Structure 1
Amino acid sequence: MNNENQKNQNFIKKIILKDIKNKRVKTVRTRFPPEPNGYLHIGHAKSIFLNFFLAKQFNGTFNLRFDDTNPKKENAHYIKNIIKDVKWLQCNLENNIFYTSSYFEIIYKYAKELIKKGLAYVDQLTKEEIRIYRGTLTSPGINSPYRKQTVKENLLLFKKMKHGHFSEGDACLRAKIDMKSPFIVLRDPVLYRILFSEHHQTKNKWCIYPTYDFAHCISDSLEKITHSICTLEFQDNRKLYEWILKNISISHRAHQYEFSKLKLEYCVLSKRKLKHLVTNKIVSGWDDPRIPTISGLKKRGYTSSSIRTFCEKIGVTKQNHIIELSLLESCIRNDLNLNTSRYMAIINPIKVYISNLEDNYSEILTVPNHPNISSMGTHTTIFSNTIYIDRYDFCENRTQFKKKLKIGNEIRLRHAYTIIAKKIIKDNNDNITEIICTYDKNTLGKNPINKKVSGVIHWIAKKNAIPAKFNLYEKLFILKDPESKEDFLKYINKNSLIIKHGFIESSILNNISEKTYQFEREGYFCVEKNCDSKQKLTFNRIVKLKKNFKNLNK
């Protein structure tokens, strides 16, 4: 193995290579186990790619397994969307879709086995009492008075739990480990609780459900997962993971490994906080382009390949740190740059009248779809005496902004002629409504003789303009790390979405199936899903151009 290959290996891949070399593992099996209680986000994408491609690199298998142990928070809608998102990420699932609920009978038998071994008991303390008895990081826990029950008593009580003889919260099954353990997770953790709620898979067959910690390690082992990969917050839980597998008669014992979870600037990735944004209608839904869910990123115009590139760039480590949002933006920008056609769009229009052109004058100009890739072809645009430019590109003050149109200043229209502003027309509120200009007919494709052109601006002829709506997205939060704040809603950016109404070139309609466009000097945009092109096209801004100094939120 050469040095470059060694450099590109993450620590989990090195573990797998060692396991194969030592013959601990023959076939690599990984899994991604989401709870179906919300939509997937970009942090989940990191885990999905890690597990999927590790399995693929070693000709192993990858399972999508729904950790569906809490019917009060889960539903089939989330399951359907999670499957759709994983497939959109280009991770082939084949038939490897599983549910923890499929193993409920087996998990129940293992719970009874622990009871019979004297390693589990039915506790009737309240939830608050259990919390108090468990102790703190600095003080040990206290044994529950129900801990001394006999095996026979516990089996009978557990059976009563199963048959609905207790109300919710009146009883639970706990492991009997060590209430004085320095690891709180080992202080008699709950293995089963009572939930009277219909399950999306098992319906009303069960009223007791295993906890995540109990079901997870058993499900991994039943599926013969070789490397159970999770994020660092489950590091202490590994001790419970191993304790459970050690004390039940299961043939395969999976092994757990932890890596740092993704934290992204100006975003929240806590599913609880994302759900709060959705349910309180702070955003329009789980697919709102301002939140980093897979559905939101897809609606905004991100590609699965750009998300994969981002996950590869941030790597897999055990160090927690916040990733700069600019890295994610550069990944989609680089992805779109090579295959996205360029067009002109006017987001903040102001009318320009070219006085030395006749009213019926029209000239067809041919424009390249990409400045550096001729194979992407061309499209046509119209030049006439009434055009729209961006309001930002005109400056009334002659002493500011050299590269803008202003009275007496000559500037080039992109792909067309140079123009000089002669005068402006204002309304009663002193707002500029029209700019009167002249053009130089000898400047198509060349600069005027003995004159300096200040800059280049984009434009659209009125005859060629189609009305369009533009959704301009900015960061949802004004704080770099809103995740760290319980009062994170205080840091919402009130200007995270600015809606503008302007124009696009009519030739876009000939290539509307492309879906994604670079609007010159404005950024990359995609067509809003389900918008009606017969009424008004809507475009979502995916990302600004790298060197875009314009304030598009004006």
Structure 2
Amino acid sequence: MHIKRNFITRIVKKSISKQPKKKIRTRFPPEPNGYLHLGHAKSIYLNFNIAKKYNGVCTLRFDDTNPKKENIKYIDAIKKDIQWLGLNLYKEPKYTSQYFYKLYKYAIQLIRNNLAYVEELNKKEIKKYRGSLKTPGKNSPFRNRTIEENLLLFKKMKSGIIPEGSMCLRAKINMKSPCMVLRDPVLYRIIFTKHHQTNHEWCIYPMYDFAHCIADALEGITHSLCTLEFQDNRQLYDWILKKLNLNQKPPKQYEFAKLNLEYAVLSKRKLQELIDKKIVQGWEDPRLHTLSGLRNKGYTSNSIKMFCEKIGITKQQNIIELSLLESCIRKDLNMTSPRRMAVINPIKIVIENIPKNHIEYFSAPNHPQIKEMGTRTIMFSQKIYIEKEDFRSTDQSNYKGLILGKKVRLKYACLIKAKKILKNQNNEIAYIVCKYYPEKTKKNKNQKKKYNIIHWISQKSAIPADFQLFDTLFTTKTPEKEKKIIPFYNPQSLIKKKGYIESIIETEIVKHAYQFERIGYFLKKNTHKKHKKYIFNRIVSLKNKYRNFID
């Protein structure tokens, strides 16, 4: 991936010019409390590629400081996503839990320096004492405990004899600071939950803001890159490193704008809500913009790289149009996806001037621009399927399909004209009787008349298939801004169709996806075990939907 020049590359370049021998070290520190999403991909590519560009090192470090929300399955999923993105780790992943003993010792150091104290106010009381942006906070009644008392209580917290939620350790900074983050933030809390790495060794766990900067310093991180939501936290980041005097040249934090995407939520909390309420089928649901969801839908890692490169790195918060992401996958699939025909909402056509057992064959290119991909043979018979939306009994303005009394071209084949409609007992169309014109199967160069084109499949070679068509999960462009997202759920975000595919698909092995002509790009999933029917996920529709093609 090519990294566009941005304010962070300029910062890194400047630091190298001042210290040519300095080894650039970045890190990607996900919390293992959910799956990675598209916003993480932006951060991953930035951190890994900055290191690669300047011959440095990027570390994957799991910020595993809250065992209540973490799970080993999330760690495995994150590793899988990073591998899928094609990024090689310098070493085995690191864990903040590796530093728990050192973090505990640093907390003791702050207490000894009268820079931390044991708090007994509960969460609601702490919030009340902290004040607001308009009103200063006030000191806790436990703030002036002696150093000896704080040391004793903190050790009791560690020993497991203090009930969960009854005490925590807070930094002693300034309750009247205009920066809310500096109003005596919590550094440690009690959690009696088994940790996926350390089991029951610990019952006190550091907060992210305390552990993160220390882990950066211990690993020699030079550029701690994070999103703008952590901008205020930088003051605490610097305060902790300064007070602990960890490094003569401590790491520096730099912030960039996080990814905001139309019609999508990337907040783990909101994603978890969708999962808990059964709105989606887990983190890998193709309607989600998790990396697993996008991969399951049919997105490629290369398309994600393209997308991250296009949006770039800035400090300006903006909302990225969904069409940009879709254009990246279209571009990536266009030159590699073989063309096939599929009918996802079929209606039957019976050709009246063809004998029942008559069969013809036509040649069709596997790709219109790449001759090397060759051609295939498609069968034509008395009975075929076309799309329901490609037929109207009466003419309509700008309609480009089959109309009673008018001719239309079957793609790669011949002209047909609709003669009459036959309906069933429910007054529904059973099939359409058409006439075909064999003399028109080949285009006449002198022919001035142009006909609309529709796709089709012969009934004799049609293979049953299910199609999953995905739309946006929300009806509003900015669901992230809404406090409640469920009211904006789009019930049409998943539509299932039953139709047919070309028989050649049964026997061929395709690298990734198909382009079903005039419909979109599709990923072949597993077949139904009982019915042996194929399932296809639509990755993305065609840009113009190809509904207005003429010959």
TM-score > 0.5 by shorter chain:
yes
Distance 1:239 1:373 in 2: 57
Cα deviation for residue 453 of structure 1 reads: 4.2
Match of 2:122 among 122, 126, 146: 126
> What CA distance in whole angstroms lies between the structure 1 residues aligned with 2:417 and 2:469?
31
Which amino acid in structure 2 is aligned with residue 195 of structure 1?
Answer: I
CA apart distance, 1:187: 0.6
The C-alpha deviation readout for 1:361-420, integer Å capped at 9, x for no partner, is 112222111001011122221111110000111111134444211121111100101111
Give the direction of change, closer, same or farther, for the CA distance of 1:533–1:93 in structure 2 (3 Å limit).
farther
Which of residues 316, 330, 336 is equivalent to 1:319? Answer: 316
- Give 1:390's aligned amino acid: E
Paired with 1:63 and 1:105, the residues of 2 have a C-alpha distance of: 21
Partner of 2:160: 164
Residue in 2 that maps onto 1:86: 82
Q: 1:487 aligns with which of 484, 488, 494?
A: 484
**TM superposition shift of 1:513:** 3.8
Q: Does the C-alpha gap of structure 1 residues 533 and 24 become closer, same or farther in structure 2, counting only changes over 3 Å?
A: farther
Alignment of 1:57-76 (within 5 A): 57-76=53-72
CA-to-aligned-CA distance 1:410-451 (integer Å, 9 cap, x gap): 111001011111111112332211011111112223159868
Q: For the Cα contact (< 8 Å) 1:161–1:208, is it kept in 2? A: yes
Q: Which amino acid aligns with 1:403?
A: K
1:53-452 to 2 correspondences below 5 Å:
53-251=49-247, 253-447=250-444, 452=449
Note if contact 1:395-1:401 (Cα within 8 Å) is conserved in structure 2: no
Deviates more, 1:88-97 or 1:123-132: 88-97
User: For residues 429 and 322 of structure 1, what CA distance do their matches in structure 2 show?
Assistant: 49
Q: For the residues of structure 2 that align with 1:74 and 1:412, how far apart are their CA atoms?
A: 58
The answer (yes or no) to whether the contact 2:171–2:185 under 8 Å persists in 1 is yes
Query: For the residues of structure 1 that align with 2:245 and 2:327, how far apart are their CA atoms?
Result: 51
AA aligned opposite 1:95 = K
What is the identity, as a one-letter code, of the residue corresponding to 1:254? P
Which residue of 30, 33, 37 corresponds with 1:37?
33
Counterparts of 2:201 and 2:447, CA distance in 1: 87
Runs of at least 5 residues in structure 2 that lack an aligned partner in the other structure: none
Cα shift at 1:531: 5.5
- Alpha-carbon distance between aligned partners in 2 of 1:198 and 1:529, rounded to the nearest angstrom: 37
* 1:10-21 equivalences in 2 (<5 Å): 10-21=6-17
Matched, 1:49 2:45: yes
Change (3 A) 1:533 1:413: farther
Mapped partners of 2:286, 2:368: distance in 1? 29
Aligned to 2:5: 9
- Rounded to whole Å, the distance in 1 between the matches of 2:388 and 2:394 is 14
SS at 2:403's partner residue? coil
Q: Describe the SS at the equivalent of 1:435.
A: strand
Greater alpha carbon shift after TM alignment, 454-463 vs 354-363: 354-363
Distance 1:529 1:100 in 2: 39
Paired with 2:317 and 2:21, the residues of 1 have a C-alpha distance of: 29
Q: Is the 8 A contact 1:30 1:226 kept in 2?
A: yes
Structure 2 equivalent of residue 474 of structure 1: 471
Contact 1:410-1:453 within 8 A present in 2 as well: no
Q: Confirm or deny: 8 A CA contact 2:4 2:312 kept in the other structure.
A: no
**What secondary structure, in the 3-state scheme, does the structure 1 residue paired with 2:440 have?**
coil
State the AA in 1 paired with 2:201. K
Q: Deviations over 1:305-329 (max 9, x none)?
A: 1011101111100110110000000
- 2-side partners of 1:53 and 1:450: how far apart? 56
For residues 527 and 42 of structure 2, the distance between their equivalents in structure 1, rounded to whole angstroms, comes to 29
Cα distance in 2 for residues equivalent to 1:40 and 1:420: 53
CA distance in 2, matches of 1:379, 1:352: 23
Distance 1:231 1:416 in 2: 55
Does the 8 Å contact 1:409/1:454 carry over to 2? no
CA distance in 2, matches of 1:340, 1:197: 49
- Any idea what the Cα deviations from partners look like across 1:229-283, whole Å, max 9, x if unmatched? 0000000000000000001142351110000000000011111000100111100
**Aligned mates of 1:375, 1:57 — CA distance in 2:** 36
CA positional deviation for 1:510:
2.5
Q: Which amino acid aligns with 2:128?
A: I
Q: Does 1:517 align with 2:511?
A: no
Measure how far apart 1:532 and its partner are.
4.8
Please name the residue that 1:460 is paired with. Answer: 457
Decide which moves more: 45-54 or 244-253: 244-253
Instruction: Indicate the RMSD between aligned Cα atoms, in angstroms.
Output: 1.8
**Aligned AA (1:100):** T
- Whichever residue aligns with residue 187 of structure 2, its letter is L
Separation (CA, whole Å) in 1 of partners of 2:402 and 2:445:
16
Amino acid at match of 2:413: A
Shift of 1:150: 1.2
Query: Given that residues 42 and 292 in structure 1 are in contact (C-alpha distance below 8 angstroms), is that contact kept between their aligned partners in structure 2?
Result: yes
Check the 8 A contact 2:527/2:535 in 1, yes or no: no
C-alpha separation in 1, matches of 2:531 and 2:26 = 47
One-letter amino acid matched to 1:394: F
Change (3 A) 1:234 1:402: closer
Is 1:412–1:453's contact at 8 Å kept on the other side of the alignment? no
Q: Is the 8 A contact 1:345 1:519 kept in 2?
A: yes
Task: For 2:270 and 2:85, locate their aligned partners in 1 and report how far apart those are by CA, in whole Å.
Answer: 24
Identity within the alignment, %? 56
Contact 1:25 1:226 (8 Å CA) reproduced? no
The one-letter amino acid of 2:404's match is I
Distance 1:240 1:515, change over 3 A: same
Q: Deviation at 1:145?
A: 1.4
SS in 1 for 2:212: helix
> Structure 2: how far apart are the matches of 1:419 and 1:485?
52
